[in-house]
């Protein structure tokens, strides 16, 4: 195999793992912010999310759905990172 191609696949797998790690950190921070805001229920936060358009139960449901979608996207990214890692390992072994 071409050594440059192997290095590029390995670099892509490392970048994918960093992206997944940063995404997991963002997901954790979002979850903690969700816990804080849904417990404190500040008036300014509700005004930012549309004022009287939604109540706190609706905002909680929306926020949990957004976190679930973000988890699914993060899972797809993790699967891509695993694929790239295994592919890079196999290319290095064949080279």
Domain ranges within the chain, ordered by starting residue: 3-94
Q: What is the pLDDT of residues 1-33, one digit of tens each?
A: 688 999 999 999 999 999 999 999 999 999 999
Nearest-5° Cα angle at 93, 91 to 94: 65
* Total residue count of the chain as it appears in this document: 95
- Rounded Cα distance between 81 and 2, Å, is 21
Paired tokens of 20: 């997944």
- The structure's pTM equals 0.83
């Amino acid at each position: 195999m071409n050594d440059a191609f192997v290095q590029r696949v390995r670099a892509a797998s490392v970048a994918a793992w960093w992206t997944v790690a940063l995404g997991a950190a963002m997901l954790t921070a979002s979850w903690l912010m969700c816990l804080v805001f849904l417990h404190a229920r500040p008036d300014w936060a509700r005004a930012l999310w549309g004022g009287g358009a939604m109540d706190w139960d609706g905002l909680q449901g929306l926020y949990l759905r957004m976190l679930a979608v973000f988890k699914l996207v993060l899972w797809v990214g993790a699967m891509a990172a695993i694929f790239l890692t295994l592919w890079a390992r196999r290319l290095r072994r064949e080279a």
